[in-house]
Amino acid sequence: MVRLCEVVPHPLKSGFIPFTINRIDIFILDEIRNRVAESKLVTFDLEDLYPEGERVLLDIKDWLYEGVLLREKEFRENLNAVDWTAFTGKYVALHCSTEAIVPAWAFMLIATHLAPYAKKTITGNLEQLESAIYQEAIADLDLEYLRDLPVIVKGCSKKPVPQNAYLFLIKKLHTVAKTIMYGEACSSVPLYKRR
The 10s digit of each residue's pLDDT in 50-96 is 999 999 999 999 999 988 899 999 999 999 999 999 999 999 999 99
Local structure of 86: helix, strand or coil:
helix
At residue 2, the pLDDT reads 43
The 10s digit of each residue's pLDDT in 112-142 is 999 999 999 999 999 999 999 999 999 999 9
Sequence length of the chain is 195
Measure the CA dihedral 175/180/184/187, to 10°: 180
Local structure of 17: helix, strand or coil:
strand
CA-CA distance, 95 to 81, in Å (whole number)?
A: 19
- Quote the strand ranges of the chain, DSSP E: 7-8, 16-21, 24-29, 42-44, 55-59, 91-95, 120-123, 150-154, 179-184, 187-193
Where do the domains of the chain lie?
Answer: 35-51+141-193, 55-118
The 10s digit of each residue's pLDDT in 20-34 is 555 555 555 556 665
CA-CA distance, 195 to 178, in Å (whole number)?
A: 9
